[in-house]
Structures are given as C-alpha cells and as structure tokens.
Amino acid sequence: MVTALRAGDQLAIGQIYDTYGARLYAYSYDLLADHELAADALRDAFIVADHRIRELANPDELGAWLYALTRAEALRLGVSDDIPADAAQGTRGDKFARAALDVYAMLPPETREILDLAFRHRMVDADLALVMDMSEEQIGQAVGDAQEDLENGLAAVLANRVGDPRCAEIAELGKRFDRLDAKGVDPWLETVARHVKQDKACADHIENRRPLRLFEELPQTFVPPGVRARVLDTLRDPAGASFCQRIADRAGRFDESGFPTGGGKTSTGSARKLLPVAGIALVLAAVGGGAWAFMGGSGNNPSSSPTTSTSTSAPAAGGSSSAAGGTTVPTTPQPTDSQAASTADGGATGGSTGTTGGTSHRTTSTSKKSSSSSHSSTPSRKPTTTTSTTSSPTTSEPPPPDTSTTNGLPSSTPSTTPPTSTSSTS
C-alpha cells in the first residue's frame, strides 16, 4: 500500500483507510471525546499521510505512523480530560464491564491512552514507543504501571460491588472509590497497591482472575456514517488541493524515521478548555494597558490625547468547541492560511472494531514506579494558542455553507476563502 500510494495510485489511500480507518477513528474519539473533532482529526491525518508518505522511512511501520499522525492532530485540537459521554452505552448493563469503565475513567488521560493502545488496540511495545515518542524501555515501564493501576483499582471496586469474602480490607478500600475526587485518586491507588503487595491472597487473586480482561473486552466506537466519504472526497476533489496542502504543511517537521516531531506531539491537555481563559486574560491585559495610557501615560503632556488600545482574542482552532458531557456546538467557519476548520460528521456509537497486528501485552504487572514519578510516562505538553488582533467587531455574516450532503452530512470540501467575521469560543 505504501508503494502504491507513493506511485500515485488513486485507490491506495482508500485501501489504507479501509484497513486502518475504523481503529484510528476509535482512537481519535477516545482522545477527544467528541465525534466532530474526532472526524476532523482523522481527515487531517489522512491528508498528511497522503501528502507526506515519502517521508516514512520504513513502510513496515505504516500502522504506527498513521496512529502517530492521528495523535498529532488530536493533540492539536486538545485532548479531553474526560472519557466520551456515551462510553457507558457499551457496557450494556454489565456490572463487571461498568466497573472496568469506571476505574479506567478516573485515570489520567496519558494513562488511559497507553492502556487503550496497548490492550484494546493490541499495539506491541515497538510500535507503541514510536507513537508515544518514547524508548521501548520507557514504554514498557509505562504500560506496566498503567496495567497495575487499572488491575489494582478494579480488584478493589469489584470486591466492594460484587462482594469478596476473602478480604474485607480491600472491599473497604473499594467503598472509598465512589467518594474520590481528582486529588484523591493517586493516594487511593497507592493505598490499594500497598495492600496488594502485603496481602498474597489478593495478589494471587488478581494474577489468576486478570481483571484487565474486562477492560480489554470493552467495545470500541463505530465510525459514524459519512466519515469515510468525507475523508476520501476531500483528498480526491481537485477543488480542495490548496486546503489539503495547507493541512500537510501545518504538520510541521518529521524526524529521520518520518514520524511527526514537535507541535502536536509535544503539546497536550485541554487546549479547548484553556482558550476562553486565555482570551479573558488578553482582554484584561488590553483594558489595563488602555487605563494606564489614559491615567498615567499622558500625565506629562496634558494636551495629548489618550491612545486607543486594541484588544486581542484567541480564536478557537477547529471552529467548534465541546462542552462537558459530550454535547457539541458546531460552527461553520471556513479555513484560512493558519488554520483549516470544517464541520465533521456526527453519529451513534457502540459495537466494536478490529485490532492491529501484533501480540497482546503482558498479563502480569511490572514493578511500580515511585509515587513521585507516577503517571509521568509522557512529557508535559502545553497547548499553543494563536492570537489575532481586531480593532472592532464586525456585524457581517459569514457566507452560507454549501448545502450539498452525503448521507445527510456535509460532504463538500471546505472553501478556501478566509472568513470576514470573528469566531467565538463556547
């Protein structure tokens, strides 16, 4: 497929999508917890793959490369702190599966991502290290730590919810789970881990029953209808060539193996959540500067007129923002030279998708790192915010979007005309 795509075979990108698209969408959705943003990230990742396939040094690493591209685009949009709001639908009332989902949901986003890739996407350490930009030794330790956290926590929660006559202490620890807040997660996990290490019966129970299997069997999300058509139509439509080129250029520099570096891979967190705060801070700074100029800046020259200070605002990348609980408020901005945004497809979730090649990860936990370095498997990543200066608000409306649809969803390639109105964040 790599050779065909490099040779310009128009069918190659479709074959690659059919092989990897469903898994990449599920991965993107788990990171972003939003169907529209997940479809945007998937589309942009395939645009980058199509335009920069010659930079991939080893064609055998195509799968890991596509995951890395998808991860970079998801990080560019801002990884959600929460799991998707509809994730519980996949448990279908199964109390064991729901317990696995509840314990998974309390873990930090970085830990959840490693668990997803290692145990639900069946990614081997060598590929996982490429995706996460870590050494195999580092990723092996990170996977072991994440597995231990999930298994220990799940053992305690199940002991409380379904009863465990073998150990009243771990059942009591399970009762504390429902009262945890964000600050209490790490201390609780450390307490459970100490108990498991001291109580051989509990340790043997975890090793024999492998509660991690409950997590591995959680279903992945379905790809909403129309996503495949949007991705491939965007690539094949000559009218979208300039749009696709901007997306490919935006991906930035790749390393000697052809994997993305900097930008998306080194920035994490909730960029969407930080944008409103950044906008408020910039406005306050502008107002303070204007007040200083009026009250003190012209104090030595009574005849001078006060200067007019322009305020800056931070536009939301992607053109849409998601609220808590998975509800989205889509907008329809057109792509500009610095960002390309379009409305992506929504849809229902549920069911399961295929898994990547390779063997499953370890079934016994590795040694736990010290509490001072817990959950530090990936480097600290800070979202980047682009600011633009506006002298006054405009009342002109943006041009109406193309009303053509595919399966009831927008399918046209976004226009390359810059918008004349400013966008606001939810």
Give residue limits of the domains in the chain: 1-84+224-269+335-358, 86-220+362-390
DSSP at 334: P
Instruction: Identify the CA nearest to 344 among candidates 28, 88, 18.
Output: 28
- CB–CB of 13/235 below 8 Å? yes
Q: Looking at this protein, which amino acid is placed at residue 195?
A: H
Residue 164 pLDDT level (bands cut at 50, 70, 90): low
Which pLDDT belongs to residue 209? Answer: 77
Q: Is the pLDDT of residue 310 over 70?
A: no
How many angstroms separate the CA atoms of 90 and 133, rounded?
31
- Any idea what DSSP says for residue 254? B
Phi then psi for residue 76, to 5 deg, are -65, -35
- Which residues have C-beta within 8 Å of that of residue 380, sequence separation ≥ 6? 268
Q: What percent of the chain has pLDDT over 90?
A: 45
pLDDT in tens, 353-362: 333 444 345 4
Length of the chain as a residue count? 426
20-29, 180-189, 317-326 — most confident range = 20-29
**pLDDT on residue 289:** 46
Query: Which is it for strands 405-406 and 388-390: parallel, antiparallel or unpaired?
Result: unpaired
371-374 long-range contacts (CB < 8 A, ≥24 apart) are 371/186, 371/190, 374/145, 374/186, 374/189, 374/190
pLDDT at 186 over 50: yes
Q: Write out the two tokens for 49.
A: 């793959």
